[in-house]
Amino acid sequence: MEKLKDNKEKADKEIKEKTGRTVEATGMMLDIGLFVQVGGSAKKKTEPTQGSGKITFTVTVPVDMKNTNDSIIRTYYLIHILDDGTVEIVNSGTGTEIKAETDSFSYWYLTYVDEKKENEKKDNEGGSGGNTSAGKVVTASDNEPMVYLEETRGDFRISYYHEIPFFGKAKADPSFFGGIKVSYGGKEYEATKIKVNKKKGLIRITGLNTADKKIVKAVKKATRGSNGLTFKVNPYYVRNTDTVTPKFKKDGSLKSIRVRIRGKDYKAKKGEFSYDKTSKTLSFSGSNLNGSRKLN
């Protein structure tokens, strides 16, 4: 029991040293093993064969550890406790599926850190499209990236803005997220290329400025698939200053509307807009568009 407590304390200390975050959660010890069974024989515990490569597995966060509070961001950490007592952070993230690779099993530790969501942006942080004056509160209706996050992927520390306005047909780039910064080996790099999975809300980093090919390859692998950086899309708020292109029917009713978002025209879907002919006011509602716009 004392050894178990020591291992947890070591793991919590490792998180504090690597990320600056203090673990207050109880956490959960995991005894993960590899078993082999031939025919109807009994299962036998084994280890991966030396030189055969690592085995990939997924840890699903249990129900009692899942985040049910919308006002906080919960970051999970999966730590490998080696036989010699050393600990290492294998993976972390806000998703409830934590992937890991190993060539040896033994004990693992799953815990988390909670942080309150902050809509107040930091001065001079976030890069293109992400700066605001110190103390300015940014809301979704400002059509700016918001909620600053720092995440760990292996040895990489990645910072970006987690919530962004709907970007329509535009191709997402790092500026959409206020710029994406990657810290590794005492140096900080800017992401220059990304791949965005809109359906799953995941970002994969595929390019870094001034980084050598090995580092780029490593960060691409670290943010691949379900290990991608998570993000949330808020509705784009349409205003009188936005460029819209209406198409009317013969009776004067609105047939369709296109809204220019980040240089690309997005055709609003049925149910996303309504039009008042008397006031010539166009109103939007839904997960993609919101707000209103007067037509001349």
What confidence score (pLDDT) does residue 289 get? 94
- What percent of the chain is predicted at pLDDT more than 90? 36
pLDDT digits (tens, 9 = 90+) for 247-256: 998 888 889 9
Highest mean pLDDT among 28-42, 64-78, 141-155: 141-155
* Residue from 115, 175, 198, 185 nearest 150 by CA: 115
What confidence score (pLDDT) does residue 11 get? 87
What confidence score (pLDDT) does residue 97 get? 82
CA dist 27 → 23, 65, 191 (Å): 9, 8, 33
- Mean pLDDT (the chain, rounded): 82
What confidence score (pLDDT) does residue 56 get? 78
pLDDT over 50 (residue 130): no
Instruction: Determine the average pLDDT of the residues in 252-270.
Output: 92
| Confidence band, pLDDT 50/70/90 cuts, at residue 127 | very low
pTM above 0.85, yes or no: no
Does 35 or 91 have the greater pLDDT score?
Answer: 91
CA dist 116 → 8, 38, 76, 93 (Å): 24, 50, 15, 16
What confidence score (pLDDT) does residue 171 get? 93
pLDDT over 80 (residue 278): yes
Instruction: Determine the average pLDDT of the residues in 149-156.
Output: 89
- End-to-end CA distance of the chain, in Å? 74
pLDDT digits (tens, 9 = 90+) for 190-247: 999 999 999 999 999 999 998 899 999 999 999 999 999 999 999 999 988 889 999 9
| Confidence band, pLDDT 50/70/90 cuts, at residue 125 | very low
pLDDT over 80 (residue 49): no
What confidence score (pLDDT) does residue 36 get? 63
Alpha-carbon gap, residue 266 to 284, rounded angstroms: 13
Highest mean pLDDT among 2-11, 75-84, 177-186: 177-186
pLDDT over 80 (residue 45): no
Beta bridge partners of 59: 98
Alpha-carbon gap, residue 76 to 65, rounded angstroms: 9
Does 122 or 62 have the greater pLDDT score?
Answer: 62
| Confidence band, pLDDT 50/70/90 cuts, at residue 135 | very low
| Confidence band, pLDDT 50/70/90 cuts, at residue 72 | confident
CA dist 253 → 34, 138, 275, 282, 296 (Å): 66, 36, 8, 11, 14
* Residue from 270, 277, 281 nearest 289 by CA: 270
| Confidence band, pLDDT 50/70/90 cuts, at residue 3 | low
pLDDT over 90 (residue 46): no
